[in-house]
Amino acid sequence: MASQMAVEATGLEKSYGAVQVLGGVDLRVERGSVFALLGPNGAGKTTTVRILTTLTRADAGQARVVGFDVARQRRRVRRAISLTGQFVAVDDLQTGEENLRMMGRLSGLSGTQARRRAHQLLDQFDLAEAGRRRVATYSGGMRRRLDLAASLVGDPAVLFLDEPTTGLDLRGRQAMWQVVSGLAGSGVSVFLTTQYLEEADRLADRIAVLDGGRVVAEGTAAQLKEQVAGHRLDLVLADAAAFDQIARFLAERAVLSDPSRLTIGVATDGSAAQVRALLDEVDPTRRAVDRFAVHGATLDDVFLALTGRGAGRPEKETADV
Amino acid sequence: MSDATATMVGRSLRLSMRNVEALLTSLILPVLLMLLFVYLFGGAIQTGTEYVTYVVPGVLLLCAGFGAASTAVSVSQDLKGGIIDRFRSMDVGGVPILAGHVAASVVRNVTSTALVLAIASLIGFRPSAGPAEWLAAGGVLLLFILAISWLSAAVGVLARSPEAAGGFAFFMVFLPYPSSAFVPVETMPTWIQGFANNQPVTPVIETLRGLLLEGSVGSSLWLALAWCGGITVASVALSGVLFRRRTA
């Protein structure tokens, strides 16, 4: 257990038939930190998680979780981790408490310990009252919370969360964020995947951006935002001539170009000072720009900035491979 | 039995108790079928004995088929849902998971068998067996239930979806019909007789009839034991291999 790293992967490759899903992924996650793997559908997030949690073997490359090799020391790895996948993994016909006690027994607790741990987790996840009801009666958010509680029963050193908020409504998502933020600092290392920049931003100490099976950027949220800008300034131009002129001026810096709406987007950090400076720079005569709007950058913008193309690609989703 | 297996058995039992529709089907359908055969068809079937006496061993096997069929579906549901990844990432292997389902299947079957026997005795099933024969008959029936439960578990691992698993299971429910369960094999067309005489259900039924009604079993006992043992061993091995392949 000498390793300081919760997760250490080098050169992970995986193909399914002729389709390469991972093309050499390197990752390092420090112990006790929250790490987000950010990417669109089909980027290889789930495959990466499945390799790190011993469920799938990589074709090439090496990965260690808390110092144990995921291919050669599967059992040691499995005892140190827990996985919450995209599909809720609890039994509908058991109560919340029964599900947690079952997981407790399976992770080696005695009957009494398992009961105590179940009550503790139900309290922690705001499910104390629901604990005696069957899971079939739970809302989507409650299921996810129970699912996460179930993955914590055995006190894992590393917690893998594969798209923990996909399919949740805003309230459910916020509740989940609170729970994950609460875990940070408790000593457990969290490895989560997400399609949402905002989620990675809120939760993670470090973020790696995965695209087409490769890590295209890695750093803290602040570092990434410097690279890709956190916001987009959309300029609605007065006429077609102004559009052409500004488009030529901005050239490669334009992250959005829509002649039909006479709109050009440019990356910004969203601060008033930078927006003012940009407007002055682009339109010193104050005639070309009609209106403007500032948007939070979408994943598409981040990808455009990082890879020179949009995130939405026509490839089949590979979330379940 | 390891802790993990005990936990999984508890889980499967709880899940079967709460799956009310499947539970009622496996309890009530065999009873209804018995009443159907005895009162509707029985009058027209000549077996040389009271028809209720002839048909009850067959209904007991039918029971086992119904009870086991839902095992295939629940195994398949486990493999399709997210829970299998959680179990595997917790280092819970295929043996405890499948053994849990099989144990629950055996408990369900024993319950429905007891129910059928109780109602059969109310409508005139009067076996001549003594305690030793009853015990032996119970043992053979238990082995058959175990065999068909493991076979169902294997089918559940093999099937790509719970619906497909349910479809496969139908064949197991159907197996007692072309056998000596409901009508004597001699009354069937010759080409079916060949199948009926040489399929697993017939020797099991003949053994039960022999033990409960005639006091002698002849070679059918050994055949029945061989079939049950063979099916169990093959199904355990097959489901183990398939489980590893499915989840590799």
Nearest CA in chain B to A89: B83
Reduced to 3 states (helix: H, G, I; strand: E, B; else coil), residue B187 is helix
A154–B90 CB contact, under 8 Å: yes
SS3 at position B233:
helix
Tens digit of each residue's pLDDT (9 = 90 or more) over A99-120 = 999 999 998 899 999 999 999 9
Sign of CA dihedral A69, A71, A72, A73: positive
At residue B29 the predicted structure's pLDDT band, cuts being 50, 70 and 90, is confident
Measured between alpha carbons, how far is B6 from B100 in angstroms, rounded to an integer? 8
Write down how long chain A is.
321
Chain B, window 52-81: residues with a beta carbon less than 8 angstroms from a chain A beta carbon: 81
Cβ neighbours of A82 in B, within 8 Å: 86, 89-90
Tell me how close the Cα of A208 comes to any Cα of chain B, in angstroms: 24
Nearest-Å Rg of the Cα atoms of chain B is 18
B contacts of A98 (beta carbons < 8 Å): 14
Q: Where are the alpha helices (DSSP H) in A29-156?
A: 45-52, 74-80, 96-106, 111-124, 140-152
In A, which residues are within 8 Å of B3 by CB distance? 105, 108
Does pLDDT of B171 surpass 60?
A: yes
Cβ contact, residue pair A106, B14, below 8 Å? no
Q: What is the pLDDT of residues B36-59, one digit of tens each?
A: 888 888 878 877 778 888 888 888
Q: Are strands A34-38 and A189-194 parallel, antiparallel or unpaired?
A: parallel
Q: Is the Cβ of A238 closer than 8 Å to some Cβ of chain B?
A: no
Is the Cβ of A99 closer than 8 Å to some Cβ of chain B? no
Report the alpha-carbon distance of residue A183 to residue A243 in Å, rounded.
49
Q: What is the pLDDT of residue B229?
A: 96
- The CB density around residue A197, as the number of other CB atoms within 10 Å, is 25
Given pLDDT bands bounded at 50, 70 and 90, which one contains residue A321? very low
- In angstroms, rounded to a whole number, what is the distance separating the alpha carbons of residues A155 and B13? 27
Distance, CA of A153 to CA of A99 (rounded, Å) = 10
- Residue A1: the pLDDT is 47
Question: Which of B16, B89, B95, B244 is the best substitution to test chain A (most A C-beta atoms within 10 A)?
Answer: B89
Which residue in chain B has the smallest CA separation from A134?
Answer: B18
Minimum distance, in Å, between the CA of residue B67 and any CA atom of chain A: 19
Q: Of A56-60, A176-180, B80-84, B190-194, where does the model show the most confidence?
A: A56-60
CB atoms B89 and A94 under 8 Å: no
Mutation test of the interface with chain A: which of B19, B88, B90, choosing the one with the most A Cβ atoms within 10 A?
A: B90
Domain containing B53 equals 3-246
**3-class secondary-structure state, position A264:** strand
Residue B192, Cα to own-chain centre: how many angstroms?
22
pLDDT above 80: residue A19: yes
**CB-based contact (8 Å) between A120 and chain B?**
no
Residue range B133-147: average pLDDT? 93
Question: Burial of A284 by CB count in 10 Å (0-12 exposed, 13-18 middle, 19+ buried)?
Answer: exposed
Position with higher pLDDT, B82 vs A109: A109
Which residue do the tokens 């497909």 mark? B164
> What is the rounded CA–CA span in Å between residue A261 and residue A176?
38
- What confidence tens digit (pLDDT) does each residue in A31-51 have? 989 999 998 888 899 999 999
The number of angstroms, rounded, from the C-alpha of B126 to the middle of its chain's C-alpha atoms is 23
Segment 153-172 of chain A within 8 Å of chain B by CB: 154, 160
> Tokens representing B100?
């849990």
Residue A319, pLDDT score: 39
Could you tell me if A2 lies within 8 Å of chain B, comparing CB atoms? no
> Mind listing the pLDDT tens digit for each residue in A206-252?
999 998 899 988 888 877 776 666 788 899 999 999 999 999 998 88
Is B18 near chain A, with CB under 8 Å? yes
Q: Which residues of A touch B246 (CB under 8 A)?
A: none
For each of the domains in chain A, give its residue range(s) and CATH number, in order of start: 5-226 (3.40.50.300), 229-307 (3.30.70)
Could you tell me which residues come within 8 angstroms of residue A10 by beta carbon, excluding any fewer than 6 positions away?
A26, A61, A62, A63
Q: Which residue has 């600092």 as its token pair?
A: A185
Total count of domains within chain B: 1
**Helix B131-158 vs helix B94-122: crossing angle, to nearest 10:** 140
Confirm if A279 and A292 have CB atoms less than 8 A apart: yes
The answer to whether residue A154 scores a pLDDT higher than 80 is yes
The reply to whether residue B90 touches residue A82, judged by beta carbons under 8 angstroms, is yes
pLDDT at position A316: 35
CA distance A45 to A21: 9
What ipTM score was computed for the predicted complex, to two decimals?
A: 0.83
Partner-chain residue, chosen from A78, A82, A102, that has the shortest CB–CB distance to B11? A102
Q: Is the pLDDT of residue A311 over 80?
A: no
Q: What pLDDT digit, counting tens, does each position of A57-83 carry? A: 999 999 999 999 999 998 899 889 988
Q: CA of B247, closest CA in chain A: separation in Å?
A: 8
Residue A149's closest CA among A174, A108, A180, A171? A180
Determine the Cα–Cα distance for residues A154 and A79; give it in Å rounded to an integer: 9
Chain B: give the shortest CA distance to residue A217, in Å.
29
The whole-angstrom separation of Cα B101 and Cα B152 is 10
Beta-carbon contacts below 8 Å between A and B:
69
Compare CB distances from B90 to A78, A85, A88 and report the shortest one's residue.
A78
Q: Which residues of chain B have a CB within 8 Å of the CB of A90?
A: 83
Residue A88 has pLDDT above 50, yes or no: yes
The SS3 call for residue B77 is helix
Helix (H, G, I), strand (E, B) or coil at A18: coil
Mean per-residue pLDDT over chain A, rounded? 86
Interchain contact B98–A (C-beta under 8 A): no
Is residue A298 over pLDDT 70?
Answer: no
Find residue A233's DSSP bridge partners.
A266, A294
Question: What is the C-alpha separation between A137 and B18, in angstroms, rounded?
Answer: 14
Per-residue DSSP letters for A34-59?
A: EEEEE--TTSSHHHHHHHHTTSS--S
Separation of alpha carbons B172 and B152, rounded Å: 8
For residue A291, give the 3-state DSSP assignment: strand
Q: Cα distance from A110 to chain B (closest Cα, Å)?
A: 9
The reply to whether residue B89 touches residue A88, judged by beta carbons under 8 angstroms, is no
Contact residues on chain B for A78, CB-CB shorter than 8 A: 88-91
Chain A hits for B91, Cβ within 8 Å: 74-75, 78-79
Q: Who wins on pLDDT, A185 or B192?
A: B192
Q: Smallest CA–CA separation between A167 and chain B, in Å?
A: 15
Closest by CA position to B169, among listed B54, B59, B72, B98: B72
Look at residue A3 in the predicted model and tell me its pLDDT. Answer: 62
